[in-house]
Structure 1
């Protein structure tokens, strides 16, 4: 029987996650997709057909993660994990001195704790042949005013990714910064602004596919590292 590559994508109902799911399925993959908005995820399932398995739920919910682990484990393997689901935080973005701590806790639960929890069950399924990707942001590197909540959570995710790579040298574990994109979350960060000059998520997907295909050493990469198809 021919092996069918299987991916698990969080935040798969819109934006970059949806664009990636479409691209992988067009290449013959099976995609397990999760997102909080069940209605959106059902529309994706209707569009993409039987190759897309929709599992709506909140990635911060341990019961939902247990369901994902059971479904992924039922296939016996994973070829790709993409932790794409993220929480921006309040909009407009508040400065850290005024940041509601209950909101900051939600940002960290979504952007740091949940990706690690997913990796904890996914790494054994990925093995030495699979690839794990945590979607990062330049806000995790640059100290942009008003981006302290989201940015610091992505900085924590970057460090978590780097340590996992060091602890699992036989596996491919990456942080990938896709840059600014024309997404609903990016619009929420700039309420009322025109963000039509940002690239569509589908235009960024080929860079991530090159990362997956080329498999450089584990680490943090940006879309610019793969726009020419050559890793740094």
Structure 2
């Protein structure tokens, strides 16, 4: 039975992916900061640990659980933060703000990958980092988040070059999630697709193993 670790699996795209994988025969390890949400997201085949991926002790706890499960076939860096809200122009972003976003979106995924790299390479597994179109575009007030995702993409694809990993930086597009709503307070985002709609494209990417690179899930859906 294949084993996946999906960070941030208590809501949004992480929860949708966790449920799909579990429903199709995977054992899924996931995490989140809120106990109530993790409980609500639970189902057979899902193992959940409460914690923040930016916390070193929590990352080591995840690694120990992977060791207990015996293998790792898929590592998905999904947990993210927008940083302090409301979003603001870079002239109003201080060092602490940048560090807060960097720790969750870039440094923590890199540190977790380093911990789990032996298990991932032994199984011939895949590495997926959930990114954003903000990593390649320049949207007002999105600077810290965008920069952290651009760096995450670069780290992910450099690991692919160095380690021969099947590694992918994935742009899921705008989705109807709590985090996206937080970026647009008071606005109606009901026109955005639900996270579940892009999960088949993400699962297909992992299954098909195209060359390592940056992929837009909308493009993958269009040719599916």
**Do both share a fold (TM > 0.5)?**
yes
1:61-118 C-alpha deviation (Å, 9 max, x unpaired): 1100010001101222101111000011122201111013212211000000000011
8 A Cα contact 2:83 2:97, kept in partner: yes
> 1:203 is matched with which residue?
197
Alignment partner of 1:23 out of 14, 20, 25: 20
Counterpart mapping for 1:7-46 below 5 A: 7-45=4-42
SS of 1:85's partner is: coil
C-alpha displacement of 1:121: 1.6
In structure 2, stretches of 5+ residues that fail to align are none
C-alpha displacement of 1:224: 2.5
In structure 1, stretches of 5+ residues that fail to align are none
**Aligned partners of 1:202, 1:63: CA distance in 2, in Å?**
31
- 1:89 aligns to 2:88 (yes or no): no
8 A Cα contact 1:178 1:222, kept in partner: yes
Alignment partner of 1:52 out of 46, 56, 64: 46
Alignment partner of 1:160 out of 147, 155, 164: 155
8 A Cα contact 1:207 1:226, kept in partner: yes
SS of 2:222's partner is: coil
- 1:122 aligns to 2:116 (yes or no): yes
C-alpha displacement of 1:19: 0.2
Q: How many residues align?
A: 223
> 1:103 is matched with which residue?
97
TM-score (norm 1): 0.93
**Aligned partners of 1:38, 1:99: CA distance in 2, in Å?**
31
8 A Cα contact 1:210 1:229, kept in partner: no
**Aligned partners of 2:223, 2:3: CA distance in 1, in Å?**
23
Alignment partner of 1:188 out of 158, 164, 182: 182
- 1:150 aligns to 2:140 (yes or no): no
TM-score (norm 2): 0.96
8 A Cα contact 1:91 1:191, kept in partner: no
8 A Cα contact 2:171 2:216, kept in partner: yes
1:153-200 C-alpha deviation (Å, 9 max, x unpaired): 10111111121111012x211111100000000000000110000000
> 1:141 is matched with which residue?
136
